[in-house]
Amino acid sequence: MTVIWHNPRCSKSRETLALLHARGVMPEVRLYLQDPPSEPELRAALAALGRPAAGLVRRGEALFRSLGLATAGE
């Protein structure tokens, strides 16, 4: 079963869901803002992606910049 952690207000999330549908994939849609993934789920997703959590951060967001996180974890 394919699951998408989805935010209907996010254009990239909507595009991804539309692409899946266009390819005949009907995923389980999880509205992650209402039903956030647990820490084990996040760790499993990161392991499956082969990426550290920092690689998923949207660095262009105003909140990221305002918190001065550009050098966090360095």
Q: Which residues are catalytic?
A: 10
Residues 6+ apart with CB under 8 A from 29: 3, 4, 6, 17
Q: How far apart are CA 1 and CA 25, in angstroms?
A: 9
Under a CB-based contact definition with an 8 Å cutoff, are residues 28 and 1 in contact?
A: yes
